[in-house]
Amino acid sequence: MKNSDIRDLSIEDLQDKLATLKKKYTDLTVTHTVSPLENPIQLRSLRKTVARIATELTNRELQS
C-alpha cells in the first residue's frame, strides 16, 4: 500500500486496516515459525505497511 493510498483513507478506515494488518502479520510470523514461508519478503512489506499506517494515524492525531 502506497503512502498516497494511505493518506486518502479516513481515520476509521486506517484504524480498521491497521488492526487487520497487525492480525495478518501475527498470523504470518507464527506460520513462518512453524514452517518457512514461500515468500518471506512479504513479512517485511507487511511490517512496513503497518508502520506507514501507524505513522499516518499519529500525524493526524497531532494535527487535531
CATH number of the domain encompassing residue 47: 1.10.287
Q: How far is CA 34 from CA 24, 31, 39, in A?
A: 16, 5, 14
| Domain membership of residue 22 as a residue range | 3-63
What per-residue confidence (pLDDT) applies to 1? 81
CA distance 44 to 56: 18
Total number of domains in the chain: 1
pLDDT digits (tens, 9 = 90+) for 2-61: 889 999 999 999 999 999 999 999 999 999 999 999 999 999 999 999 999 999 999 999
What per-residue confidence (pLDDT) applies to 18? 97
Q: Which residues of 26-54 are buried (b: 16+ CB within 10 A; e: fewer)?
A: eebeeeeeeeeeeeeeeeeebeebbebbe
**Distance from first CA to last CA of the chain, Å, rounded?**
24
